[in-house]
């Protein structure tokens, strides 16, 4: 069988070993060297271009159904859980804990839950929601497993590496949010990011009130493509007397966007994290669809500047 392998950056160092194993089994194996941002970004076009019969995607669980033969191989990573003991003083005032993690540590969720329960906490993990496939799992772009139980808990605990995944959950919940990072062995409440990003959001909206020409970003990546939303936003912008164009790309290049100087603001319909994480990479405001709607509402009500 002709197979294309695809790895996220953290697993590319193991690509050759996996390729050799599959070749030893009689397969013709190729490796995608392109960057990938998750299971929303499958190398299907590359697989078809070389005539591959299967794409093997490492590091993530299935994200959405696609019209191609894709095998998902998620990686489980054993993180040290001894740091959990140091988190107890942070949680002293909270009885009901909402527990979330990434797919790499889902297999450890029962152990983490058992630890907190043995210290008198009631632990809640949400059912799978949206693109997440496991209870308590969050993705960078899908935090339903946290937001669904926000009203039911006193605080959240995220167990896992980095802040990329829990940041989305923090911004879409209201309760104290503790991140326990087992690799750097750091523990911190992430609540401060809510105010930081609220100010950024308000700044983007204010900076867009004088915009007349909007560029609507559409990604052709399998799990990010949303031309229907882009079309609706274009119609709404034009109905308010402004100009809009749909900008299509597979891999978003901010230098290229910054060269499109006729646009006064950009609107994201691709990965929702783009309008959160990448706003400083454009010289013009980079809005989410909801932020665009707020801009248009302000202008319609006459509370913003319309030139």
**pLDDT above 90 covers what percent of the chain?**
72
d(CA 173, CA 185) in angstroms, rounded, equals: 24
Count of domains forming the chain:
3
Same domain for 161 and 107: yes
- Of 79 and 140, more confident: 79
d(CA 4, CA 52) in angstroms, rounded, equals: 6
User: How high is the pLDDT of residue 16?
Assistant: 96
User: How high is the pLDDT of residue 131?
Assistant: 72
User: How high is the pLDDT of residue 303?
Assistant: 58
Whether 183 is covered by a domain: the verdict is yes
Same domain for 220 and 168: no
Q: Name the domain boundary from 48, 73, 98.
A: 73
Q: Name the domain boundary from 39, 73, 107.
A: 73
Q: Name the domain boundary from 30, 54, 73.
A: 73
Domain interval for residue 162: 84-190
Same domain for 150 and 104: yes
Whether 287 is covered by a domain: the verdict is yes
Q: Is the pLDDT of residue 130 over 90?
A: no
d(CA 40, CA 131) in angstroms, rounded, equals: 10
Whether 133 is covered by a domain: the verdict is yes
Same domain for 205 and 186: no
Whether 126 is covered by a domain: the verdict is yes
- Quick one: which of 36, 22, 29, 21 has its CA closest to 2? 29
Q: How confident is the model at residue 30 (pLDDT cuts 50, 70, 90)?
A: very high
Q: How confident is the model at residue 34 (pLDDT cuts 50, 70, 90)?
A: very high
For residue 287, give the CATH number of its domain: 3.40.50.11860
User: Which two structure tokens, joined as six digits, stand for 220?
Assistant: 């052709």
pLDDT in tens, 172-228: 999 999 999 999 999 999 999 999 999 999 999 999 999 999 999 999 998 899 999
For residue 134, give the CATH number of its domain: 3.40.50.11850
For residue 54, give the CATH number of its domain: 3.40.50.11840
Same domain for 224 and 276: yes
Whether 78 is covered by a domain: the verdict is no
Same domain for 179 and 248: no
CA angle 21, 27, 32 (to 5 degrees): 75
- Of 140 and 23, more confident: 23
pTM of the predicted model, to two decimals?
A: 0.85
Averaged confidence pLDDT in the chain: 92
Whether 305 is covered by a domain: the verdict is no
Same domain for 99 and 14: no
Q: How confident is the model at residue 306 (pLDDT cuts 50, 70, 90)?
A: very low
pLDDT in tens, 230-269: 999 999 999 999 999 999 999 889 999 999 999 999 999 9
pLDDT in tens, 101-112: 998 899 999 999
Sheet holding 54-58, edge to edge: 28-31, 2-6, 54-58, 70-73
Whether 307 is covered by a domain: the verdict is no
């Amino acid at each position: 069988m002709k197979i294309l392998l695809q790895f996220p950056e953290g697993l590319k160092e193991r690509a050759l070993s996996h390729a050799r194993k599959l070749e030893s089994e009689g397969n013709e194996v190729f490796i995608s060297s392109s960057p990938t941002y998750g299971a929303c970004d499958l190398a299907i076009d590359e697989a078809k271009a070389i005539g591959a019969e299967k794409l093997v995607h490492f590091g993530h669980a299935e994200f959405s159904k696609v019209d191609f033969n894709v095998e998902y191989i998620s990686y489980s990573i054993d993180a040290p859980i001894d740091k959990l003991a140091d988190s107890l003083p942070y949680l002293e005032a909270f009885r009901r804990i909402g527990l979330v993690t990434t797919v790499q540590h889902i297999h450890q969720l029962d152990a983490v839950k058992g630890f907190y329960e043995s210290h008198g906490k009631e632990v809640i993990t949400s059912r799978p929601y949206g693109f997440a496939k496991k209870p308590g799992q969050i993705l960078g772009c899908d935090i339903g497993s946290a937001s669904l139980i926000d009203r039911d808990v006193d605080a959240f605990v995220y167990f896992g590496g980095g802040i990329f995944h829990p940041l989305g959950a923090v911004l879409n919940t209201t309760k104290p949010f503790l991140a326990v990072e087992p690799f750097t062995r750091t523990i911190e409440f992430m609540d401060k990011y809510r105010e930081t990003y609220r100010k950024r959001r308000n700044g983007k909206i204010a900076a867009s009130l004088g915009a007349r020409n909007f560029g609507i970003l559409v990604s052709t990546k399998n799990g990010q493509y949303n031309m229907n939303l882009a079309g609706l936003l274009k119609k709404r912008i034009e109905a308010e007397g402004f100009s809009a164009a749909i900008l299509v790309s597979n891999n978003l290049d901010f230098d290229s966007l910054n060269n499109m100087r006729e646009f006064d603001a950009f609107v994201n319909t691709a990965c929702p994290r783009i309008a959160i994480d990448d706003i400083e990479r454009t010289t013009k405001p980079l809005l989410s669809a909801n932020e665009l709607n707020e801009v248009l509402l302000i202008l319609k009500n006459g509370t913003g500047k319309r030139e």
